[in-house]
Structures are given as C-alpha cells and as structure tokens.
C-alpha cells in the first residue's frame, strides 16, 4: 500500500504540472481551444532561426566534448588511476562557478578583446557559445563516460586490441566506443539538453538562441512560451527513449553474439 501511495504522490507531483502546461498550451489568445500557439511556433521565422542556431551549437558542442572526453577518461582510468580523484574534482568546477560569472567575464572579453580575437571568437553565436558550452557540459559528460568505462574490463580490451596491432584511434573508435555506447549517448543527451536550456550566457552576449527566444516569447505570449516548453520536453523525452532503446538493443546484440 505504501509503495502504491508513494507512486501516486510522485505521479501527481511530476505529471500534474506537465498536464496543466499541456492543457494551457492549447488555449489561444481568443480564449478558445486550438492549435494556434503551435502554429505560431512553426511559422515564426525568428524562432526557427534561433532553433537552427541552437541545434548547430548542440551538435558541435557534443562532437567536441566527446572527442575531448572519451580519450581523456580512457587514459586516466588506464594509465593514471591515481589522479582520477583530482580529475573528478577539477571537472566539478564548471558547476561550482555560477554561469552569470562566466557570462559577465565573456561580456567583458567581448567588449575589450583585440579586433582579431573578437572577429574570430565572436563572429557568430556558434563560434562564441560553443567553447563555453563544452566547458559547462564537461562535468556531466565526464561522470557519464567514467561510469561506462568502469563498467567494462578496460585493460583486457586494450591489451587484446593492442596485441592485434590496433592503434589508439582504432582502439577508441572500434573497441571502446561500442562497449560504452549507452554512456556516450547519455553524455550527448545531457550536452544537448544543456545547450537547449542555457539562457544566461547567451542573453548577456546578446545572441538569439532557442532558450533566449523562449524567454522572449514568454514575455509576449504565455501560450506560445508554454507550447515551446511542451515541445522541448517532448523532444527530450523522445531522445531519452531513443537512448534507452539503443542501449538495450546493443546489450541484447552482445548477449546473442556471446551465446
């Protein structure tokens, strides 16, 4: 009985606001129910451009983060296990430092940077925001990848691949990544969620990204803002379901090959 009670309370706590938001998103400006708010979202050129910009930043952030973190986690666990605790402590710093502090520093750099640096670094939202979103995503990516690497027999896999003549690039791509696929997908989803939710730095640097546009729409039309939020939650859920499906499918495939 207690389990059912706790489950029901949790369902009300988590699903209640989501159901209310979904219901509110269908209320149009004239007070009638309809798809007007979602239609405005789909036909808003400014919002579409901001969404494309955020998707580009998310894709580039995820790619850079994985290229940096996968070899780092493997090398630390394989060659330098004694400093793993120090690497974990350093990776927490982007969480400890408030984003408003980083945003204020970037705004000052944008105002006082030499023309050559400013033209390269702040030429577009993608080049300006991607490096700093990579830094913000490092804590989440490191822990996800570290859990995945610790769950496999890393040393045996590395020794077997090296004894067969595999280089480090082949080792990472063809041996390590297939065995930590779920961890990689989790880290990628966390990075994408961060990019689609971070608003402080983009707002301070005056870049029009999807989260900034969401805030602006909320000030002008609450229904459109809630519709955007519902769409964001739906995309995030679909991404998590895809990660779960791919992870379970890869696990079943490995078990079948072993059998």
Distances (CA, A) of 252 to 94, 152, 178, 182, 257: 36, 16, 13, 13, 9
Please state, in angstroms and rounded to a whole number, the distance separating the CA atoms of residues 173 and 168.
9
Q: Within the chain, which residues score under 70 in pLDDT?
A: 218, 243-244, 246-259
Does the pTM exceed 0.85?
no
The pLDDT of residue 223? 78
The pLDDT of residue 60? 93
Closest-CA residue to 153 (of 175, 169, 170): 175
Closest-CA residue to 48 (of 167, 213, 200, 187): 213
The pLDDT of residue 50? 84
- Which one-letter DSSP state was computed for residue 153? -
32-60 pLDDT, tens per residue?
888 777 777 777 777 778 888 888 998 89
Other beta carbons less than 10 A from residue 216's beta carbon: 17
Burial of 19 per CB tally in 10 Å (0-12, 13-18, 19+): exposed
Please state, in angstroms and rounded to a whole number, the distance separating the CA atoms of residues 21 and 159.
53
Q: Which two tokens stand for residue 65?
A: 């983060």
* φ, ψ dihedrals at 27, nearest 5°: -85, 120
132-159 pLDDT, tens per residue?
899 888 888 888 898 888 888 888 888 8
Q: Are 70 and 184 in contact (CB under 8 A)?
A: yes
Please state, in angstroms and rounded to a whole number, the distance separating the CA atoms of residues 183 and 144.
5
The pLDDT of residue 256? 43
């Amino acid at each position: 009985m207690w389990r059912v009670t706790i489950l029901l309370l949790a369902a009300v706590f988590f699903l209640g606001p989501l159901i209310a938001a979904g219901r509110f998103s269908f209320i149009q400006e004239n007070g009638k129910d309809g798809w007007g708010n979602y239609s405005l979202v789909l036909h808003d050129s400014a919002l579409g451009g901001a969404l494309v910009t955020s998707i580009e930043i998310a894709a580039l952030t995820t790619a850079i983060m994985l290229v940096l973190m996968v070899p780092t986690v493997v090398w630390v666990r394989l060659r330098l296990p004694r400093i793993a605790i120090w690497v974990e402590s350093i990776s927490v710093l982007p969480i400890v430092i408030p984003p408003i502090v980083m945003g204020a520093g970037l705004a000052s750099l944008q105002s006082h940077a030499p023309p050559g640096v400013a033209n390269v670094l702040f030429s577009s939202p993608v080049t300006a925001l991607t490096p700093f979103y990579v830094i913000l995503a490092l804590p989440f990516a490191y822990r996800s990848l570290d859990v995945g690497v610790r769950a496999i027999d890393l040393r045996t896999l590395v020794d077997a691949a090296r004894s067969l003549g595999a280089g480090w690039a082949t080792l990472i791509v063809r041996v390590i990544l297939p065995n930590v696929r779920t961890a990689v997908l989790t880290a990628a989803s966390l990075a994408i969620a961060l990019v689609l939710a971070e608003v402080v730095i983009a707002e301070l640097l005056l870049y029009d990204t999807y989260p900034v546009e969401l805030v602006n729409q909320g000030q002008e039309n609450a229904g459109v803002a809630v519709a955007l939020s519902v769409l964001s939650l739906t995309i995030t859920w679909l991404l998590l379901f895809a990660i779960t499906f791919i992870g379970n499918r890869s696990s079943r495939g490995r078990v079948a090959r072993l059998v």
